[in-house]
Amino acid sequence: MKSVTIQVFGRVQGVGFRYLTKMVADKLNIKGTVANLDDGSVYIQAEGPEDHLNEFINTVKMSPSPSGHVEKTTIEDQSVQNFSDFRVTN
């Protein structure tokens, strides 16, 4: 089990990014949260098996939303939070 935080910059708000990210997470059995930040970016906490998490990260980097456009991502390892599901917040 691996856990990361991801901050996604670009056209990622108002394009269904959070909800499509949740769909990808559910498909890959990734647990965590996704939220819009005031600076226009999206913040993700994600954890799961490393191979699934890597696939999730790659999908996020390419934008799960066809209307979105990811310009930059920052990824940091974090300690496992033991989320029970994947939730869209705010």
Residue in 11, 36, 54, 87 annotated catalytic? 36
Angle, helices 17-28/50-61, rounded to nearest 10 degrees: 160
Residue in 18, 29, 54, 58 annotated catalytic? 18
**pLDDT tens for residues 24-78?**
999 999 999 999 999 999 999 999 999 999 999 999 999 999 999 999 999 999 9
Indicate which CATH number applies to the domain containing 24: 3.30.70.100
Instruction: Burial-class residue 16 by CB neighbours within 10 Å (0-12, 13-18, 19+).
Output: middle
pTM for this model (two decimals): 0.95
| Domain ranges, residue 30 | 2-80
Q: Which residues of 66-86 are buried (b: 16+ CB within 10 A; e: fewer)?
A: eebebeebeeeeeeeeebeeb
- Please check whether residue 85 lies inside any domain of the structure: no
Q: What are phi and psi of 16, to 5 degrees?
A: 80, 15
Q: Is-catalytic flag, 36?
A: yes
Predicted confidence (pLDDT) at residue 90 exceeds the cutoff of 90? no
Provide the number of structural domains found in the chain: 1
